[in-house]
Chain A
């Protein structure tokens, strides 16, 4: 069964600090892995998308990594800002399926 597990479930950090969110998956076959940011009460917005051959991809202060051998991905946020407070969702794509993680709720505190 295809599954995407995210950790931690929630996280509180101080403004300006860095943090790393984890995503483990068992989706097979694998097509790509995406990270989305979802502000409360809004639709998810894509941050990064990585295929099998990509190990890292950046989008501003967001850097995603992918280890296709261990089926793990991480999202690193540098110098966090209050606006980073949101849910971060890992989504793994097979050839014809999308499997969503439950998300990590991040709160950046002043």
Chain B
């Protein structure tokens, strides 16, 4: 069966420090991968998605970047964190691109920027 792992689960970082959140999927090949951010009282916001190695699409211009160095690995990064980067980050995968496929989420990473 397929599983998705995301880490770290919680992170407290000072303003201006770098960030790296990692996500890996097991049990499937060539998944579509996504990074979402969830702010309190707001819906999930799509940040990045990837349909293959090295292919990254950004939905919202911001202080963050994403990379996909391997088929089942998706990394969310920042060179210098801002206070506004605080939030709950979710990695997800689907077997098909577009909106029709089932979406499976990781457990999330809570980022607090101080």
Give residues in A with beta carbon < 8 Å to B. Answer: 4, 31-32, 34, 36, 41-46, 49, 89, 91, 93-98, 100-103
Contacts and interface: CB of A to CB of B under 8 A. Distances in A.
Interface stretch (B13-21, B77-85, B103-111): B103-111
Is the contact region of chain B dominated by helix, strand, or loop, or is it mixed? loop
B105 A49 contact: no
Contacts of B110: 41
Interface residues on B, range: 20 to 34
B43 interface: yes
A68 B42 CA distance: 25
A84 B107 CA distance: 18
A43 B44 contact: no
A43 B100 CA distance: 20
Contact of B100 (A31, A89, A101, A102): A31
A102 B42 contact: yes
A94 B43 CA distance: 17
A37 B24 CA distance: 22
A97 B57 CA distance: 13
A49 B102 contact: yes
Contact of A101 (B43, B46, B102): B43
Contact of B106 (A43, A89, A91, A103): A43
B27 interface: no
A27 to B, nearest CB: 9
Given A4-B43, A100-B43, A103-B43, A42 B107 contact: yes
Contacts of A96: 97-99
B41 A95 contact: no
